[in-house]
Structure 1
Amino acid sequence: MLELAQRMVLCALVCSIYARASCPPGCECSEAAHTVKCVSKELQTIPKGIPGYTRNLFITGNNISRIGPTCFQGLDNVTNLSLSNNRITEVESNTFADLRALRYLDLSSNQLTAIHQEGFSMHNHTLRELNLSRALYNHSAVTDLAAALRQASLGSLQGLDLSGNGLVLLPPRTFSRLGQLRRLQLSNNSLVAIHNATFWGLQRLEELDLTFNALKGVPEEGLRELDALPVASGLLLGDNPFDCTCAIEPLALWLNRSRDRVRDTEAPSCASPATMRNVTLLAAATLTLRCYQRAAGADLALQTSYVFLGLVLGLVGLVFLFVLYLNRKGIKKRVNEARDACREVWEGYHYRYEIDSDPRLSQVSSNADA
């Protein structure tokens, strides 16, 4: 019995030594929790020899510049992969293709400048959550991401976080292949407009966060885009610098009739003009109607002015014609005198022309003058 106990202790010791030996340098491995952590170890590349039992893999706070398809080979059991804050600039094609069980991918707080068109292509439709907050470094990365999302097989993706990326405009149909997406985070960007086809294809989207952007208004085209999200009931529009001039009326009226879809209906408020600052859009809906009434009154006044001007000009014309009628005899006499004067001048020029054209008449005229 004692010998059996010694053997068991020896096996446990050997297994623990083997487990520690199989853990990559700079990482902490827990077979019981199926977790490997390589945190803030100044790693330059994804470490080799990560145990095959790993389900939760945290490689964060390092100096890894690029990741490719050879980085995660043999890790079929990984379901949660966090690569945040690694200064990653490039994602190569098929980087995550071997992660056949991957459900959650975190690439937040990186410096992505290049995402290959097949950077997010995966063999299985397993990925549910993709975190790219504060991950895109410039506009070219946004264009690359749009192309990668349209190319990737992410038909099961349910959550996408693009917050904090300085986005100004989203390319049309960026999310057209994400038919199962339910949550889209676009907060803390610089979005200035919602255009046609911005959210095309998101038929199952339930939550859309547009807070802390640069929206001064949403035109009717953008409102139709929001109305095209059939099941969305968690829209957030607060903390945008809305310009509450007459053009805000379509958005204000839409907000009033969409209370069941907009979660923060009381939050969207006016940032300008100064007289409207901090007034909610719900209240601005009635105020802007007055603006349009004033505009309609101004149009009516302008039309009245045109009618009055036409009447005045017509009256002046009648007076002018009446004056001509009263002076018709004098005018006729002056016209006849002017006609006779012109005729005499014309005959004089004609006679002179005949003399100049005939040398004999010219000589007779000269002798007569002598």
Structure 2
Amino acid sequence: ALLPLAVPPAAAPGGCPSACYCVATPELVQCRYERLEEPPRELPATVHNLSIAGSNLSVLQRAAFAARPLPDLRLLRLRHDNIQIIEDMALQGLPALRTLDLSHNPLLSVAAGAFAGAPLLRTLQLNQALLAAPLEEQLALALRNLSLRRLELAGNALQALPAALLPAGLEELDLRNNSLQRLTAAELRSLEAPGLRGLRLTLGANPLSCDCALRPFLTWLRTAAARGGEPGRLETASYVFFGIVLALIGIVFLMVLYLNRRGIKRWLHNLREACRDQMEGYHYRYEQDADPRRTSTIGTPGL
């Protein structure tokens, strides 16, 4: 296994920043929990994957990564970095960027041209990043000129389908662990747009209500399967399932009792004998205490 190597910037041309680590080669740079307030400026020009986690990049300023050209950077992870504001052209200088991960950041403002510097961006991850403020309108403007293929919005407590955030050509939409109880007919019609016909929708861990309001969604699932798309799977939990589980547990318990019936009978017999001996002891002591001869003998001195 290859171990992370910490290389100071002056060690060699294109070396790792002092606050980061190069894993195996300078093409993979990780800056974790170094409390950076801005992206490192001495990144190697050949870096392909850059991960900055646990820092304090509260404002992702214009051309934040343009101090040194990074023409080969394809994956940028900025998780848990307290990013609140993304300014216009914040990704300027990243022409090859394809995957951007902004998960676990309390986003408050996203400029309309925030992602304009990354024309090849195909995957955007915003898991647990939309909890601090409603940003659907701002994100819709920021995504309008992108050709996204995958959008992740898991864990954002969304109560409705973010139809405004679905650009044409989107292939995968991850809405797991939100607060969706149902999908209305209007929301489902938005998924029928020509540019979203092949969309793969993930809705795991949402509290979907099993009532009549869910009928349009079930109809949409059947229609999608009939068109030749991937059939949807709707996972539900009911009291019938738990009842079956409890019944199986009861059957197993009865089988254990049946297989150990002789031992249980012997144990009950021993318990009964022990109780009988104990009661006979109490009865004997009671008779001794109630004997009048014993009482008179104890009460007469000198005998």
| TM bracket (short chain) | 0.5 to 0.7
Is the contact between residue 81 and residue 105 of structure 1 (CA under 8 Å) also seen in structure 2? yes
1:35 pairs with one of 24, 28, 31: 28
- Equivalent pair of 1:186/1:209 in contact (CA under 8 Å): yes
The 1:224/1:69 distance shift into structure 2, 3 A limit, reads: farther
Q: Does 1:183 align with 2:177?
A: no
Distance 1:215 1:146, change over 3 A: farther
Map 1:289-308 to 2 at 5 A.
Answer: none
Q: Distance in 1 between matches of 2:84 and 2:220?
A: 33
| 2:19 aligned partner, one-letter code | G
- Residue segments in structure 2 that go unaligned for 5+ positions in a row: 1-8, 244-303
Listed as ranges, the gaps of 5+ residues in structure 1 are: 1-14, 234-260, 280-370
Separation of aligned partners in 2, 1:60 and 1:75: 19
**Change in 2 beyond 3 A, CA 1:89/1:204:** same
Describe the shift of the 1:220–1:135 C-alpha distance in structure 2 as closer, same or farther (beyond 3 A).
same
Structure 1 residues 25 and 130: CA distance shift in structure 2, 3 A: same
Q: Deviations over 1:87-146 (max 9, x none)?
A: 11111222224311112211111111111222223453x223221111112342233223
Cα distance in 2 for residues equivalent to 1:93 and 1:224: 42
Give the aligned CA root-mean-square deviation in angstroms: 3.0
Measured after TM superposition, the shift of residue 68 of structure 1 is: 2.7
- Percent identity over paired residues: 31
Mapped contact 1:113–1:137 kept (Cα < 8 A): no
Contact conserved, 2:126 with 2:152, CA < 8 A, in 1?
yes
Q: What SS does structure 1 have at the residue aligned with 2:103?
A: coil
User: Which residue of the partner structure matches residue 128 of structure 2?
Assistant: 134
Matching residue of 1:147 = 141
Structure 2 matches for 1:11-160, cutoff 5 A? 17-19=11-13, 23-29=16-22, 32-73=25-66, 74-122=69-117, 124=119, 126-149=120-143, 151-153=144-146, 155=147, 157-160=148-151
Question: Contact 1:168–1:190 at 8 Å: present in 2 too?
Answer: yes
| CA–CA distance in structure 2, aligned partners of residues 189 and 278 of structure 1 | 25
Q: What TM-score does the superposition give when structure 1 sets the normalisation length?
A: 0.54
1:174/1:104 CA distance change after superposition, 3 Å: closer
Letter paired with 1:214: P
* Corresponding residue pairs, total: 225
User: 1:268 — aligned with what?
Assistant: 236
Tell me which of the two structures has the higher relative contact order, counting C-alpha pairs closer than 8 angstroms and 6 or more residues apart: 2
Structure ID, larger Rg: 1
Could you tell me which residue of structure 2 aligns to residue 163 of structure 1?
Answer: 154
Q: Hey, what's the Cα distance between the residues in 1 that align with 2:118 and 2:82? A: 26
- Tell me by how many angstroms 1:49 deviates: 2.1
Q: 1:105 to 1:262 in 2, by over 3 A?
A: same
| Aligned-partner Cα distance in 2 for 1:158–1:231 | 20
Corresponding residue for 2:197? Answer: 203
CA distance in structure 2 between the aligned counterparts of 1:135 and 1:94, rounded to whole angstroms: 20
* TM-score, length basis structure 2: 0.64
Where do 1:309-324 residues align within 5 Å?
none
The CA distance in 1 between the partners of 2:103 and 2:214, in whole Å, is: 32
Paired AA for residue 138 in structure 1:
A
Give 1 or 2: higher helix fraction: 1
